[in-house]
Structure 1
Amino acid sequence: MNEQKLFTKNFILVVIGQIISLFGNSILRFALPLYLLRTTGSAALFGIVTACSFLPMIFLSLVGGVLADRFNKRNIMVILDFITALVVIFLLLALNKLSIVPLFIIILMILYGISGIYHPTVQASIPSLVSSKKILSAGAIINQIGALSNLLGPIIGGMLFGTFGIIPILTISIICFTLSAIMEIFIHIPYKKRNDNQNMIAIVKNDLSESINYMKNEKPILIKIIVLISLFSLVLTAMMIVGIPVLIIDILNLSDSLLGVSQSILALGGLCGGILTAVLGEKLTLPIITFKYLHWYHGNTATT
């Protein structure tokens, strides 16, 4: 790519589209579980629905990268944003008409599944939009947009939900996803169709197999990192996603706005973590972190 500047026309459109789409996504992901918890008052149902909603995201996140490599990335983003808008429109029309638990399970599974494809597609489009020297900067901008949306979305969503209820949030989300899809139509992402004779299932299977073999043979450290992150997400992240809303809403009987503030504080921690990683990344290698932790652990156990 000949263009050396970071903010090209196409990258600017992607950034603006991400700001709009991720903002709508953030307030929606905050408001829907909160509405379910407020309506049913059941922490068990809240946990079940939340767990079910993440299942398609886990699978489709693996497939999302493969699809982004094989199909036009711009078209994938446009189609997914339009589908998301249609899904939220359906929810708006079906609310108070269908049983809330199965309705929310289906809707959240679709939304999280779409997210599992959408985000890898955006990340995969970056090398085609900016020069090789600007890829890291462009990726950092996209990631920070996501972090900021997670920071501001719950605060705004909590204020809107506490004051006006779920309907305005659904309406705002529909507008956001529609605007984002329309804007993405004008993005030009270079695309060259591959001549694959295999069906999609075989393609996905082969690509995932190649990725696993690469990690096993070339970058085994990636497997350790994936396992560590998976365990962290399985235990601690799940506790925060389900436990904090139940604690604030059901046990402490606090307001929706305060729940939004608490969720934003968690997002702020992630944002600060990303900044610290960028600043201290060269000093904090995995062996050093492991050694310091073991040294700290043995020192503390020796004194107890």
Structure 2
Amino acid sequence: MLEILKYNRNVRVISAANFINRLGDSVETIAYTYILYLLTGSSAVSALGLCINLLPSVIIQPLVSPFVERCSKKRIMVWTDYIRGLLTLIIVFESCKGSISYSLLMFVNFLSSSVECIRIPAGMSIVPQICRAQEYDSQASLSSLISSVTMICGTLLGSVLLGVADISVIYMLDCVSFVLSGSILMALQIKETEVIDQKNDEKYFQSLIGGLKYLKTNKVLVGLVILCAVNNILDAPFSALQAPIINGILGGGVGFLSIISVSGTIGMIVGSLLYEIFYKKFGKKILYISILSYAFLYLSIIMLAELDNETVIIAVFSFINIFCVIIQVWLSIFINSNFIKNVTPEYIGRSSAIFGAVASATMPICSFILAMVVDVTGIYAILKTAISAAVIAAVILFAKISPHTSLHL
């Protein structure tokens, strides 16, 4: 996995840019939902904040993908990083003025996520230009590893800043990371041709419809979409309600939240390093094991809530979280790697955007539903429902990938 860095200069450039970019993002991520929860004291607003943050991936990403496919991917990645840097300055200025509000915070994050939706298909489309087909697994594992390392560094830094610094400091760090990322990407050495002005180029809607038809007729991609959607549905309760779960059920504060985030990131790092080894040994069996791990995670939360010792809760849940995330990250790597393997280069931009929108739509939808029902049903009922759903999904997936059936993955 790491050998690709030795002989592929463009991979080194993108890896360095992503490291800086995601470091700032990780600091901001831990701050975002926690600040929303502190400003409002509402579990519903915390879940709604995640819903709004994810909404652009469903609405905007598929619409911009045809344009992205025909433009310079490098230029798009550079300028979207710069624009996101400028957007974060709004939070910095408003925080310095003392007029920050949860509505402004959610609005700016929505705009930033919208700009990111332009960058994502460009980042996917550029992979075949910098990697050979046999390097896709290594590139996917490396990307996951970088995300994990930056997340653990960002989480630690974010937890410290939340305790000693103002919101403006956190978002200024995010701003600097975007600007540095865009500047590093300028060093990419690839030949690209923009075809947006060619007379014989596809019309916009023809391009968009072509991507939809391609995704619909590719059975492997349909299977990956379903798998990703199921994963997002099961992940939604913990992602959308993480702050209320940590504060309300397990009785922890920002320090506990940081420790849990760090433990999860450790799991992502270990999982990224072990993926190729375990996939060669277990194959597609890791898929239903990954799904089943959500049931174990949520059951652990319910059981740990009965304990009174916060130190024991933190220690036990951290180990459980590491174990579960190690397994869950295999599913993400499997989806990303097999997506690139099974899409022809000219369709990667459109397909990745449409794929992301369809598969990721489940997360904001679930987050919105959770925001509507959490105050009525309570978090415990939601966790118990998620446990049942995970077990059912794992059983169905087990049946689908058994030797006597065929699953298009």
TM-score range, shorter chain: 0.7 to 0.9
Cα contact 1:30–1:157 (8 A) shared by 2: yes
Distance 1:288 1:238 in 2: 18
Aligned to 2:33: 33
- Indicate the larger mover: 19-28 or 50-59: 50-59
Cα contact 2:141–2:273 (8 A) shared by 1: no
Aligned to 2:160: 159
Aligned to 1:80: 80
Distance 1:199 1:271 in 2: 43
Distance 1:250 1:51 in 2: 20
Q: CA deviation at 1:143?
A: 3.0
Distance 2:155 2:93 in 1: 24
5 Å-filtered alignment, 1:1-304, equals 7-63=7-63, 65-95=65-95, 98=99, 100-194=101-195, 195-197=197-199, 202-203=203-204, 205-217=205-217, 219-234=218-233, 236-282=234-280, 283-285=282-284, 293-294=398-399
Q: CA deviation at 1:36?
A: 1.5
Distance 1:287 1:210 in 2: 33
CA distance 1:292–1:125, change in 2 (3 Å): closer
Cα contact 2:152–2:261 (8 A) shared by 1: yes
Q: CA deviation at 1:288?
A: 9.5
Distance 2:73 2:172 in 1: 27
Q: CA deviation at 1:256?
A: 1.3
Distance 2:287 2:29 in 1: 37
CA distance 1:53–1:180, change in 2 (3 Å): same
CA distance 1:61–1:263, change in 2 (3 Å): farther
Deviation per CA, 1:125-159: give whole Å up to 9, x if none: 22222445544433432232123223332232112
Long gaps (5+) in structure 1: 296-304
Cα contact 2:82–2:179 (8 A) shared by 1: yes
AA matched with 2:177: C
Number of equivalenced pairs:
288
AA matched with 2:185: E
Distance 1:171 1:26 in 2: 13
CA distance 1:284–1:136, change in 2 (3 Å): closer
Q: CA deviation at 1:286?
A: 6.7
Cα contact 1:126–1:139 (8 A) shared by 2: no
AA matched with 1:255: G
SS at match of 2:126: helix
AA matched with 1:146: S
- Indicate the larger mover: 265-274 or 178-187: 265-274
Distance 1:287 1:134 in 2: 21
Deviation per CA, 1:245-304: give whole Å up to 9, x if none: 112234545231320221233334444444444223344237996788349xxxxxxxxx
Distance 1:5 1:238 in 2: 34
Distance 1:49 1:164 in 2: 22
Q: CA deviation at 1:101?
A: 2.7
Percent identity of equivalent pairs: 17
Deviation per CA, 1:34-69: give whole Å up to 9, x if none: 112112212122222221221012233434654442
Distance 1:291 1:237 in 2: 18
Long gaps (5+) in structure 2: 289-394, 401-409
Distance 2:28 2:115 in 1: 14
Distance 2:279 2:207 in 1: 30
Q: CA deviation at 1:99?
A: 6.0
Q: CA deviation at 1:17?
A: 1.1
- Indicate the larger mover: 41-50 or 244-253: 244-253
SS at match of 1:191: coil
SS at match of 1:187: coil
Distance 2:396 2:251 in 1: 43
CA distance 1:216–1:170, change in 2 (3 Å): closer
Deviation per CA, 1:9-33: give whole Å up to 9, x if none: 4332222111111111111122122
AA matched with 2:151: N
CA distance 1:273–1:60, change in 2 (3 Å): farther
CA distance 1:16–1:39, change in 2 (3 Å): same
Q: CA deviation at 1:198?
A: 8.5
Q: Where in structure 1 do 4 or more consecutive aligned residues deviate above 6 Å?
A: none
Could you state the TM-score of these two structures normalised by the residue count of structure 2?
0.62
Distance 1:180 1:231 in 2: 32
CA distance 1:215–1:254, change in 2 (3 Å): same
SS at match of 2:241: helix
Distance 2:45 2:225 in 1: 29
CA distance 1:269–1:70, change in 2 (3 Å): same
CA distance 1:63–1:135, change in 2 (3 Å): farther
CA distance 1:215–1:167, change in 2 (3 Å): closer
SS at match of 1:281: helix
Distance 1:268 1:139 in 2: 17
Deviation per CA, 1:76-100: give whole Å up to 9, x if none: 1111111111111111112365561
